[in-house]
Structure 1
Amino acid sequence: MSVPVFEEFEPAPDCGCPGCARHRRDLALGLPVRAGGHPAAHGARRALVLVTAAGAVLGGGGASGAAAALAPVAPARPVTPADAAGVTDVTDVTDAVDAVDVADVADGVRGSDTPQGGRAPLHGPPAAQAGGPLPGAVPTTSQVSAETLRRTTRTEIVNRAKTWVTAQVPYSMEKYWSDGYRQDCSGYISMAWNLGSNEWTGSLDRFAVRIDRTELQPGDILLFHNPADPTRGSHVTIFGGWTDYTHTSYVAYEQTKPRTRKQATPMAYWENSARYVAYRYKGLAGTTTGAGGGPAASGAAAYPGASKFGPGANNAHVTKLGRLLVARGGQRFYTTGPGPRWGEADRRATRAFQLAQGWKGGEADGLPGPHTWKLLVSGAGRDIGGSSGSSGPSADAKGFPGRGAFRPGQSNAYVEKLGKQLVKRGFGKHYLSGPGPRWTEADRRNVEAFQRAQGWRGAAADGYPGPETWRRLFR
C-alpha cells in the first residue's frame, strides 16, 4: 500500500456545495492572531485532505473512505449560528495564509473584514525612526498630549499619503515599508500623521480629537473600530476633500487590499458608514485645544478669551454669545435677555449647544472655548435640540409634512419620496423591494442609518424623520 500524501485544499469561492461553504466559514472564523485575529478565534485555516493512490482509495473503502478524507480540521472555537449567518463567502485576495477577505453577501457588504495589525514600534533604517517611538507603556485608553506630538500641517499629511499612492504600497499586516511603517490601514495613518510608532484602529483616537463630519478638512480621518471583533470591519481612511457641494462623497486615501489607493468614496465608507467617526490630529500646526471642545482652527482668532465668560463676567461678548445661542435654538433658556452679565442661562444654553455637537465631560462644561465660539460665529455645527428635529419645526425643513406621515400603517407619497432620497444618498440597503408609499421597518432602518451617519445617537437616531433629518436628507 502506498504512503498517504497530504496536500492543502482551498474551497472554491463560487461553489455553493455544503462542504465548500463549511470550509469557507471555518477559514473566516480561524483568522490567525498574527494576521489580526482574536486569540480565542485562532483555529485551523485550512482543511488537510488525505489523498491516497487512486487504487488504494477505491479498493479500501470506496465512497465512505473518500467522505472521511474530506472531514475538516475543527476550529478552536465552536461555530455558532450567529457566526454562520455573518459569513457566507471568503475570497483569498493576495496570500492564502496572511489575508482573508469576507464578503457578507446577505447584507450586500463588500469586504466587511478589514483586519489590521496592533501597536508596534517603527521598523527600518534609523532615519525612519527620528524622534523615537512613543512610550509603549502608555495604555491604549490614555490620551496623548498635543505638546508631545510631532507638529505637522494638513499639506504635509496629504503629501505623505500621496507618496504611498504613488509607490503603490502592497497591503500587509506583517510587512513594513521602507519608511518604517506597517503596510496596513492604521500603519498608513501613523505614517501620514508622522507618529513615532505604528498604531492600530483601537489606539489612533489617542492622538486626535473627535470632530463633526461637517468640519472635516484634508488630513483628518474617518475611523471605525469594532471593539467586539477588531478584525471584522475595523478600518480608517484619510479625508482628502469633498467631491462636490452635496458632501455625500469624498476623496479617500486608504491602505487596503491589494495596495494603497485614492478614490471617491461614499460618506463615510462602503459599509458600516454610520459607525465611522471623524477625528483630527492633535499635533496639527496652527491649532489649539480649549474648553468647549475640540480643536480651534486659526480662523477662531476672534475668540475674546476664556476670561470674558463665566461667573462675574460683564461685557459685550456675553451679550453676543447669548444672541448667537438664541439664534441656534437656545431661546428657552432665557427668561430675559440675553444681556452683558453672565448668568446661569448663558451656561445652560452654552452646554446645550456643546452637547448638541456630541461633546461630553469637560468638553461640555457650559463655558465657551475657541471651538464653541468658532461654530457659533460661523453658523457651523448642529443647532440646540435640532439633531433629528425632535424639538419642534425647523425653518429650514422645507416641505416636511410632519412626523405623523412616517409611522407604522401610514401610506402616502411622502414615504415614497423619503425612500427614494435615501436610496439616492446611499442609505437604501435595507430595501428588498421598493421603496414604496407604505411605511415599513426597512424605511425606519434606513432613516436610522442616515441619522447615525450624522453622528446622532439615542433618541436622535430612532429612525423616524423629523424636520432636521428631512432638511439634511434633501439639502
Structure 2
Amino acid sequence: MRVSRSIRNRIRTAGVATVLTGLLCAGSPVAGAQASAPSSEATGIQAEVGVAGHPTSDLKLTRTDILTRAQSWIDERVPYSQSKWHTNQYGRYRQDCSGYVSMAWGLKNVRWTGNIMEVATRISKSKLLPGDALWVHGSSVQHIAIFVRWADSAKTQAVVREEYRTGTVAAQRTWSASWTSKFTAIRYKNVIEGDAKTCAVVNENHKSYTQLAEGAKGELVKAAQCLLAGAGFNTGADGPSGTFDATMTSAVKQYQTKVGLPSNGTVDSHTWTALLSRGSTPMVQDGSTGSAVSRVQRSLNAATNAGLDVDGQFGPKTTTAVKNYQSSRKLGSDGIVGPNTWAALQAGK
C-alpha cells in the first residue's frame, strides 16, 4: 500500500523526522538466469534514529568512498530485511536495497526507490562509473543497486553491489543483459568527481595474468598497481598509470620481500597469486558467494591458468579449479578453501 497524502501531511505538521521505507526490492537475476516474477515495493514510515557516525547531512563522497562503504555490508554479510536496520561505522540504515544505497551514498535520511531521485540525476548507461546506481521504480518492480563495472565489452551485463531479497545477504553480483536493460542509470548529486584515474575504475578481474616487468604497459599493469597500492606500497603519486616504471619495480620488490617471494621486481604468477588473494580468509566452498570467492577465482587464474569467470559465484568450475590447485600443492583435494589453501595462495604458491 502507498502512504496517503494526509498521513504525510500529519507527519510534517508534527515535525517528526521521517523516511520512507522501501519494503520490497524486486529480485534481480544474475547473468544467465531467468528473471523471477516481478514484485511490488510497499512503502512505510519510520522515524530516523540518531546514531554515532550517522551523517547529519548528505555527504560528499568520492567514488572510492562509495565503493568502500558498499563493500562494508558485503564483508559483514548484512542480511536483506525490509524491517531491520544495520549499524556500523557509517551509520544506521535499513537493510533493503534502497537502505543499502542510502548507506553507500552517505545519505542523512534513508531513501526508497520512490524518492531516491531527490538526491540523484539520470545519466546515460554509457556514462556509468563506479559508485553510480541502476534504478527502476515501476508499478511491478522497484529496485536499486550500486554500479561497479561492466562484465562484458558490449556493456550489457552490469556488475553491481546490492541488497537483493529476503534470504540473501549484501553481495556483488553480475546481472544478465535482459535484467540490466530494465534499469535506468542514475548518479548521486554529491559525488566528488576527479578520481576517474583511481583504482575505483580499474578492472582487477581477468581470466589470465601474464608476467609483467619494467617497461610493460596496459590494463594488467594498472591492476597490479592497484593491488600493490592496496597492500600499502607506493606505485606513483598519480594513481594507476598503466606504465611499469622504476617506482613500481621498487614497490614490487618490497612486496615480494614482505611475503617471502624472491625479490626480482617482476610480477610473475607467484606475485600475482599473492596479490590477488590478499584480504580476509573466510572458509568458502561450493555455493558460497561474494568478494572472497572473487579473490579465490582471480588467484587461481594466476596460479594455475584456471580461466575462471570472476563472478563471485562458487560453482562446479571453481570447485574443480580449487581441487586441481590443492592437488598440485599437496594440500588435500577437498575443493574447500580453508586456512591451508588461503595460506598457500597468499604466500604465492
TM-score by length of 1: 0.32
TM-score after normalising by structure 2:
0.43
Higher strand share: 2
Larger RCO (alpha carbons 8 Å, 6+ apart): 2
